Amino acid sequence: MCRSIKPLRLPDREATEQEIAEAALQYVRKVSGYRKPSRANQSAFDAAIAEIASSTQKLLDALVAK
C-alpha cells in the first residue's frame, strides 16, 4: 500500500461513516487501478465500495478498545 493512506481508527474517537466510505473508495481505486471507472464499470465499483465499507464498519465494531 502507499504511504498516503491514513489510519482510520484513532484512539480518541471513532471513525465516521464518511471516513469509512472514503477509505473504501481509496482501497477500490488502489486495487482496481482506476481513479474513476467507466460507465460500464460504475456499478461494480460502487458495489465494491459499499461492501468494503460495510465490512470495515463490522471490523471496527468488533474491535475491543483498551
- Indicate whether this model's pTM tops 0.85: no
As averages over each run of 10 residues, the pLDDT of the chain (66 residues) reads 64 86 93 94 97 95 80
**2, 30 Cβ separation under 8 angstroms:** yes
Q: What is the DSSP string of 17-36?
A: HHHHHHHHHHHHHHHHS-SS
